[in-house]
Structure formats: C-alpha cells, structure tokens
Amino acid sequence: MDSVLDFLLTEPLASTPLDDAGAAWTRHRVAANRFGKPVDVAIAGGFGADRLGYAFLSGYQEAVRTLIPDLPADELVALCATEAGGGHPAAIRTTLTEDGGEFRLNGTKTFATLGKLAQRLVVLASVGAAEDGRNRLRATLVDARATGVHVTNLPETPFAPEIPHAMVTLTDVAAEVLPGDGYLDYLKPFRTIEDIHVLAAALGWLVRVAREAGWSQSVLERLLTVVAAVRGLDLDAPSSPGVHIALGGIFESVERLLAELDSLWASVDSVTGQRWERDRPLLGIAGRVRDQRLATAWRSVLPGENQAV
C-alpha cells in the first residue's frame, strides 16, 4: 500500500483538465484503488482534482463511505437530510413507514448534494415521536432511479458551481433501512466526518497547487504537517470531544497557513487562481455549527469553566 504522504510529493501531476464531475469521479476511483483508508483516498482524490470543487467531491464521497463502509465502490452517493425547516432532527418531516414487511419513504429533501449525479441516496426519515417528544430518525438507502424518486436540480451555488445540488421528492419509495439510530449513528457523526474528509481532500489539492506553482519546500512541509494532523484524528469516534477539539485546532492552523500563503497565489496560473478566489468560501461552510460543536466539546471536558473559543 502506498504512503499517501510520499504520494503527495512524488506522484506525477495529471495534466488533463477535468471536463465535468463524471471525469473527476473517474480519476478519484483510480486513486481509490491505491489506498485503503477513506481519508487517504480523499487526500489522493483531492490531489488529482484540478479545482477545489472536485476535491470536495472526493472528500464528500469518502465521508459517506466512512459512515457506511459497505456502499458500492463505483456509485456516487448523496446523504439527504435537509428539509424546508433545515437539517436539525426536529425539522425532518420525511416519513418512513412499514407495510407488510416493506418500508416506504414519503417527503421532500430541499438540498441534496450532487443532484441528479447521485446514483444512491442515504435518506434520513422520521418514524414518529419518542416518549420525550423527540423526533425518532432512521437512516435508509434508496436507489436514486427507483420509482417515486423525483430529482429537481437547483441553481448553481456561487462557489464550486461544478457540484450540483437538487431537491428530492420521495413518493412511496421503497427503502432499505440501515441499523442503528438515524441521528446518533448517522446524521450527528456525519457532520464531523464530512468536515474531516473535505478538509483532507482540500489539503491534497493545495499540495498539488504548491507543486505545480513551484512553491518552496517549507510550504510543502507545512501543508504535509496539517495533512498528517487530519489523518491522525480518531475516525472511530467522530462524536468524541477530543476529536472536535483537535479538529478545531487543525482548522485554525489551516486558516493561519492560508492567510500566510495569500501572496503566493500570484505565481499560480490565472484560471486556478480565479477558481480559488471563487471557491475559497467552500472551506468555511458550516463554520458556525462547527464552532458550536467545539464549544460544546470544551464544556464536556472542562465543566464549570469559562472557555474562550
């Protein structure tokens, strides 16, 4: 098995531009054959991308596979949680019902990453209220081509427009129910798992940029340091306070490094530089929610103390 750190430093740079997300996925799959850990596949996939949006694709796909390891390796998969009221468990109104041993989904997901590109959907749905009034969730798998699935593409986002999003309407759709609690075992950990893998892929892409533009060995060393830090997070316990605290520190380190690298972007080819300026906000998505998780993590390990996060 290759060392992903050596790979980042020695792998030849792919010169063929990626025409669309399908081409990016094909290149990602080549990288996936060389590494065993999803986080390493995300890093290598990001390195192979020619823009941050396609690096996000690699990170997102490996995040879903960390959450659900048995997914088909060749399928693009989207996790569908967000509804009209948001992505909080209480906002999920899509229902999962059983009839004669068959499970059916009904509802609408208002923002599904990948849109019509997704071949399989991980759908979070409600099975009713618990005794304490909380919405009980289950995670399900759905074939995106199944009867009753209707996908409507949404307008392009201002950044990473190459990655489509869609509204997904489900009408009596047959579903495979996954084991465990939909919130505790899927929705809650995925938020952190996605942060980790998307950041890993973005760092892989930045190493590519650094090598292509001839940035210094010192810059490459610092980039590989944060890559190694991301790889060192305990992905078997994504909801643990320690992981959230360490991840908060890594994001802070990356932000400082990116600020220090601002002047170097003048040495990058103009197309890559323009895409970076356009797509950079991608790294700040869910920053407020991430900060809330970090504050909660600190409170859980240092109860009763004032934390300045």
Nearest Cα to Cα of residue 107 among 67, 148, 139: 148
> 60 and 200: one domain?
yes
Do 43 and 85 fall within a single domain?
Answer: no
Shared-domain flag, residues 219 and 275:
yes
User: Is pLDDT at 309 greater than 50 in this prediction?
Assistant: no
Same domain membership, residue 277 and residue 227: yes
Tens digit of pLDDT for each residue in 267-306? Answer: 999 999 999 999 999 998 878 888 999 999 999 998 776 5
Q: 309 in a domain, yes or no?
A: no
Same domain, 145 and 222: no
Q: What is the pLDDT of residue 305?
A: 61
**Same domain for 192 and 62:** yes
Give the pLDDT confidence score for residue 287 in this predicted structure: 81
Model confidence, pTM: 0.95
Total domains present in the chain: 2
Tell me: do 93 and 240 sit in the same domain. no
Give pLDDT tens digits for 25-77: 999 999 889 999 999 999 999 999 999 999 999 999 999 999 999 999 999 99
For the segment 198-215, what is each residue's pLDDT rounded down to a tens digit? 999 999 999 999 999 999
Q: Do 223 and 210 contact (CB within 8 A), yes or no?
A: yes
Query: Distance of CA 304 to CAs 244, 289, 300, 307, Å?
Result: 19, 22, 9, 9
User: Which of 157, 177, 197 finishes a domain?
Assistant: 177
Whether residue 292 is found in the same domain as residue 195: yes
Share of the chain above pLDDT 70, in %: 98
61 plus 194 within the same structural domain? yes
CATH code, domain carrying 98? 2.40.110.10
Calculate the average pLDDT of the chain: 94
Contact present, 73 and 32 (Cβ < 8 Å): yes
For residues 105 and 59, state if they share a domain: no
Among residues 128, 157, 177, the one where a domain terminates is 177
Give a yes or no: residue 71 inside a domain: no
Q: Looking at the domain assignment, is residue 308 inside a domain? A: no
Instruction: Determine the structural domain holding residue 151 and report its residue range.
Output: 77-177
Digit-coded pLDDT (tens) for 134-191? 999 999 999 999 999 999 999 999 999 999 999 999 999 999 999 999 999 999 999 9
